[in-house]
């Protein structure tokens, strides 16, 4: 049950409802605040380990992904800014070539988050740039503090996004805005991110954790079986056309009537009781 921990990625488990023993949600924190939580190889390997562990834990129902806050600055130095993740660690690109980059970006940690069958929420407080924006886009839901900034500044490095933003960002903000972000590299402040559909909610920094954790608890109190079916069915809309997607929904919706939780949920409603999910 103990989650994998490393110097750069920590995981805390939080009960979903202590009294009813409904399981936990996990909060994974990327912890390199002096480098604005930039994604080096160690961080990426640690995230993959956490995702593999998550998938095996029946009682861990939701993943929250966040970045560590800045450390107090040494005397006389300015404080580092708040960051979710300020991108791939640029220093690791020095000397890289086509083959090494292809290897490194194949089956990467962002795909591991994307491929989780459980609900994921990005809790964004500060810069979500490059790979940080891409981690946020690989989560199912994004909630941001009002001091957050999204962006894909790779163009300023002579690069394009490599952790999925050319595809997943477009699905969230649309073709024109995705082009604008990738072509200009301009920062998108939280309120604008909210307006264009890049973040679901914007709250004050002081409200962020309580808002996200309450949402994780709310989602985690549902049937994890039904959540997984809902996730893959909504996900199908990204890959298939509308008619085919309606067919996928028909298959999934019909099939869910073979699940115990469907019967439990419907009976509980009719009998005015609280559903006690079996998660199957
Ligand atoms: N990779 C490696 N190190 C990074 C980094 C990244 N993506 N982003 C920030 N850092 C490091 C800085 O080098 C600096 O390290 P140092 O204090 O040891 O010199 C530290 O994090 C703080 O960043 P700094 O640039 O001093 O903060 P700032 O407040 O002046 O600027 C940003 C903040 C986010 C605007 C700036 O750090 C930035 O542009 N980062 C790169 C963003 C990017 O291009 N991401 C896409 C990468 S593909």
User: How is the chain split into domains, by residue range?
Assistant: 9-220, 224-270
What confidence category does residue 49 fall into, taking pLDDT thresholds of 50, 70 and 90? very high
Is residue 242 pLDDT above 90, yes or no?
yes
Is residue 233 pLDDT above 90, yes or no?
yes
With a Cβ cut-off of 6 Å, ligand 1 is lined by 35-36, 38, 80-81, 86-91, 127, 129-130, 153-154, 157, 159
pLDDT mean over 132-148: 98
**Distance of CA 35 from the midpoint of ligand 1 (Å):** 6
User: Ligand 1 pocket check: which of 31, 33, 35 to mutate, most ligand atoms within 8 Å of Cβ?
Assistant: 35
Instruction: Return the percent helix, strand and coil in the chain, to nearest 5.
Output: 50, 15, 35
Residue nearest to atom 15 of ligand 1 (CA): 35
What confidence category does residue 1 fall into, taking pLDDT thresholds of 50, 70 and 90? confident
pTM above 0.85, yes or no: yes
For domain 9-220, give the fold: 2-enoyl-CoA Hydratase; Chain A, domain 1 (3.90.226)
Residue 21 is predicted with a pLDDT of 87
How far is CA 18 from each of CA 22, 152, 195, 222, 233, rounded to the nearest angstrom?
A: 7, 40, 36, 15, 30
CB 11 within 8 A of CB 61: no
9-220 matches 224-270 in fold: no
Tell me which architecture the domain covering 224-270 has in CATH. Orthogonal Bundle (1.10)
Residue 118 is predicted with a pLDDT of 98
Nearest-Å Rg of the Cα atoms of the chain is: 20
229: alpha, beta or left? (left if phi > 0; alpha if psi -120 to 50)? alpha
pLDDT digits (tens, 9 = 90+) for 100-122: 999 999 999 999 999 999 999 99
Is residue 254 pLDDT above 80, yes or no?
yes
CB 223 within 8 A of CB 279: yes
| Cβ partners under 8 Å of residue 74, min gap 6 | none
DSSP 88: B
Mind telling me the catalytic residues? Answer: 134, 154
Residue 162 is predicted with a pLDDT of 97
Instruction: Give the 3-state secondary structure of 15-69.
Output: ECCCCCCCCEEEEEEECCHHHCCCECHHHHHHHHHHHHHHHHCCCEEEEEEEECC
pLDDT digits (tens, 9 = 90+) for 20-31: 889 999 999 999
Q: C-alpha angle 7/9/12, rounded to 5°?
A: 110
């Amino acid at each position: 049950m103990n989650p994998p921990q490393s110097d750069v990625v920590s995981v805390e488990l939080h009960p979903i409802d202590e009294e009813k023993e409904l399981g936990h949600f996990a909060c994974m924190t990327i912890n390199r605040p002096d480098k604005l939580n930039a994604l080096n190889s160690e961080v990426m390997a640690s995230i993959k380990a956490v995702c593999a562990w998550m998938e095996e834990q029946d009682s861990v129902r939701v993943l929250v992904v966040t970045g560590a806050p800045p450390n107090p600055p040494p005397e006389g130095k300015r404080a580092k800014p708040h960051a979710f993740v300020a991108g791939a660690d640029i220093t690791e690109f020095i000397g890289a070539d086509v083959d090494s980059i292809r290897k490194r970006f194949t089956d990467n940690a962002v795909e591991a988050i994307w491929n989780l069958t459980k609900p994921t929420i990005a809790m964004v407080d500060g810069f979500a740039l490059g790979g940080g924006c891409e981690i946020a886009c690989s989560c199912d839901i994004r909630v941001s503090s009002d001091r957050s900034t999204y962006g894909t500044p790779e163009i300023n490095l002579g690069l394009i996004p490599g952790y999925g933003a050319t595809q997943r960002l477009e699905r969230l903000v649309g073709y024109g805005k995705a082009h604008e972000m990738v072509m200009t590299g301009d920062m998108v402040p939280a309120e604008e991110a909210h307006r264009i559909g890049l973040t679901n909610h914007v709250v004050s920094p002081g409200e962020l954790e309580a808002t996200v954790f309450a949402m994780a608890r709310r989602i985690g109190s549902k049937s994890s079986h039904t959540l997984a079916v809902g996730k893959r069915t909504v996900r199908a809309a990204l890959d298939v056309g509308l008619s085919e997607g309606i067919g996928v929904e028909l298959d999934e919706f019909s099939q869910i009537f073979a699940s115990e939780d469907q019967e439990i949920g419907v009976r509980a409603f009719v009998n005015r009781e609280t559903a006690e999910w079996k998660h199957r």
